[in-house]
Amino acid sequence: MLKKKFIGWLILLTVQQGWSQTGSQSPYSYFGIGETQNQTASFQTGMGGLSYAVRDSFNINFSNPASYASLRLTIFDISVSGSYTKYQSQTHTQTLNNGRLNYLSIAFPIIYKVWGSSVGLLPYTAKGYNLQTVGTINDSINYINSYEGSGGLNRLYWGNGFAVSRNVALGLNLSYVFGNINRDRATEFTQAAYYNSSYQIATQYGYVSAQAGLQFKTDSLFIKRNKNFERYVTVDSINGLDTIKIKTDVLKGKSGIEKKKLKAEKFLRFNAGFTGALGQTVTETSDVFVRTYKRNNVGVILQRDTILYATNAETKRDLPGAIGVGFSLQEINKWLFGIDAGYQNWSVYNERNNALDDAYKVIVGGEWIPKYNSAKYAQRIAYRAGLRYEKTNLSLNNTAIHDYTLSIGAGLPIRKDGVTSAFSAYHSKLNVALEFGIKGTTKNSLLQENYVRLTIGVNFADQWFIKRKYD
């Protein structure tokens, strides 16, 4: 079985050192429909990928569509990343650099405080491997097995979020998932007397999926006490953010002549989030080409015979559902701390010799802003950090494959020209995140990936689609 031969791949890993522009270069991407990609925005990457219970008026959280209801401005978000990975087995070490475009997305409020919408394109899975094993027949006939894979699936989504009450929002992402996955397998003999063989399959995907989301919030106000005054306080939206709107203190027993301004000490918000997507059966369409061949003395393939050539072969494939739940606590414009948990039932995936396990993840992360409206730039920066643990959908040589990641990041405000307010001028941000991770293990003749990944995202937030009263 192919999983049992994984040890041979690791010893003869043929990924060459250099620069790649694929979503994945991991040998682990051989299995299933590829290595699943993080479905989070760049501002969340610095917090370990924290997302389910994150409500942000000036960032796009496409991980939970209910968050679109909190949008205050039109936002355009684009992100790229680059990584350095060291592959390590018990006997060999190899390194590779990789870079790619992460996603493009845009979001905007349709009805202020009630209805927000988002459209975007982001990766879902990626394949990228080049592996070899060697073998001998009867101690005299030598051969090389080669395995190559490329491609992946992408999500083109349209989402909407609705505030059904002051504290509850619901949302739905509709996605068209599409892409191509190419897999080549060849056996070549070192002796010219024998014919080589190759198996090539190119598979196309195209299907619709849906993800539902819910977010709940509740606010707490901490006001300096004064036993002689009654407190009148409401929470309103000022400058696009939920902030404290203070009326007055009215002296007890009087007609309201004597008044005193209230001073709030803290404004805390508790958030809870939930997302869910149902599993589904999709149709793969594949072109299959099986042949035998020889190479001439300069390596050019000379075709000998076609064993099988089939086009548009359809196969039914079961894909997993997913659920996620998260909680966060924040002091508005100051700090946020949260925890997420997610689960996907990949065990339903039904491909021969390619069984997968259920996957789950846990994330802890947060951010801190020293003083959001300060005149000093460094105090307006959002400083972020997070930890992520993931039990992947792979188990090889009776060993589960785990992924551990530490991330740090920052949201660097970008000033908007012509705006005098220190707060209003800096809604846009340059989001930077650095991740340090370990995936897999060298135990049981497996492969460990030690990676460093830099993510950079640019978030432009502004008021669009507003008709000018004056030219």
Q: Are 388 and 360 in contact (CB under 8 A)?
A: no
Most confident of the ranges 9-13, 220-224, 274-278, 463-467: 274-278
**Phi, psi for residue 221 in degrees, rounded to 5:** -115, 135
Cα-based distances in Å from 424 to 293, 345, 403, 414, 420:
67, 44, 39, 11, 8
Distance of alpha carbon 167 from alpha carbon 328, whole angstroms: 14
Q: Are 161 and 65 in contact (CB under 8 A)?
A: yes
So what CATH class is 2-224+263-462?
Answer: mainly beta
Average pLDDT of span 392-412: 94
Torsion of CA 111, 177, 440, 150, to 10 degrees: -140
Tell me the per-residue pLDDT of 189-226, one tens digit each, with 9 for 90 and over.
888 778 899 999 999 999 999 999 999 999 875 544 44
**Which residue, among 448, 347, 361, has the nearest Cα to 31 in the 3D structure?**
347
Average pLDDT of span 269-277: 96
Instruction: Give helix then strand counts, H and E, for the chain.
Output: 3, 21
SS3 content of the chain, % helix, strand, coil (to 5): 10, 65, 30
Output the pTM of the full model.
0.84
Where are the domains positioned within the chain?
2-224+263-462, 225-262
Residues in the chain: 471
Q: What is the pLDDT of residue 266?
A: 60
Q: Is the pLDDT of residue 33 over 80?
A: yes
> 428 has which bridge partners?
414
Tell me the per-residue pLDDT of 60-78, one tens digit each, with 9 for 90 and over.
999 999 999 999 899 999 9
Average pLDDT of span 431-454: 94
Tell me the per-residue pLDDT of 251-267, one tens digit each, with 9 for 90 and over.
444 444 344 444 445 67
Q: Is the pLDDT of residue 341 over 70?
A: yes
Average pLDDT of span 391-416: 92
**Which residue, among 125, 133, 150, has the nearest Cα to 25 in the 3D structure?**
150
**Phi, psi for residue 354 in degrees, rounded to 5:** -145, 40
Which residues touch 355 (CB under 8 Å, ≥6 apart)?
347, 349
Q: What is the pLDDT of residue 426?
A: 64
Distance of alpha carbon 45 from alpha carbon 40, whole angstroms: 7
